[in-house]
Amino acid sequence: MKTDKIYHAITSAIIVVVLSFVLPLSAACVITAMIGCAKEAFDNISKTGIPENGDLLADAIGIFAGFIVKLVVDYIFL
C-alpha cells in the first residue's frame, strides 16, 4: 500500500472516531465517506491532484477501522 493510501485510511479513521463523539456513529461514517468523495471530486475538477479509486478504497478501509475502534472503545468504557 502506498504512503498516500495509508494517509487516506488513517485520516478517515480519525475523522470517524472524532465525529462519533458528537454525532451518531452511522452519521460519522456517512459524513467521512462524503468528505473522501468530495476530496476526489476536487482533485478531478481542480487538476491539482490525481483522482484515484484506490484513494476511495483506502477511505473505506479507514472508515471501517474507525467504526470498529469506536465500537470497541464504547464496549470497553461504556
Distances (CA, A) of 62 to 7, 12, 48, 69, 78: 9, 5, 23, 10, 23
Higher local confidence (pLDDT), 78 or 33:
33
- Residue 33 clears pLDDT 80, i.e. is over it: yes
Determine the pLDDT at residue 2. Answer: 83
* Position 1 pLDDT exceeds 70: no
pLDDT at 49 (0 to 100): 87
